[in-house]
Amino acid sequence: MSNKKNIVVLTGAGISAESGIPTFRDIDGLWQKYDFMELASPQGWTKDFKLVLEFYNVRRKKIREAQPNAAHLALVELEHIYNTIIITQNVDDLHERAGSEKILHLHGEIMKARSTVDENLNYDLGDRDIYPGDTCESGSQLRPDVVWFGEAVPMFDEAITFVQKADIFIIIGSSLQVYPAAALIRYVAEDSKKYIIDKKIPEVGYYKNLEIIEQPAAIGVPVLVNKLKQI
């Protein structure tokens, strides 16, 4: 096991969009009249927590209807060959449903709820949603177990640790506009191989050993995985 290469994969909204999950900004025309800060921030929660719960219930429904695509499934194959960890910006569970086992959710998990007074009290929702009056064992209202605008990203330091050890770093479906996740590539060793896969490659600057694959994730990821299987 110790001689296996370490592969770290960063996935963004693009990989889930190919499964039919709308990106945050495209979820539903109904929500376009709202400011995102009203839907995904501590301030928005304080102002109208019922609206926030409704928004996330709609998002959760879209996720439950979606299925992992060829990109998700191809990444599972890497776990059979390399020490592979997926760092995802996505709050959905498509990587888990595809069969990946080592996943770090930077921005939390929409299929879980957590207490509003103790972030260590979290719960798997299964096929349920969150409604006003749903409380934790301490009696406090439950909220989505996701990281909102203005909140710290508690898993970021752990993500850096993985990235620093990567022999191969792969970015899939990320605009590289959301920080701190977008900064992870800066922590990759200079000599490590780097790949970016997206149907529209974001501006990333110059990095040594960087290869660009301008394809949708469901096409580009299986091609790259087959290539890496031959190494």
Residues pairing with 135 in the sheet? 141
- Among 72, 95, 105, 107, the active-site one is 107
Distance CA 27, CA 102 (A): 27
Residue 80: active-site member = no
**206: CB partners within 8 A, 6+ apart:** none
Distance CA 141, CA 143 (A): 7
Instruction: Show which residues are catalytic.
Output: 107
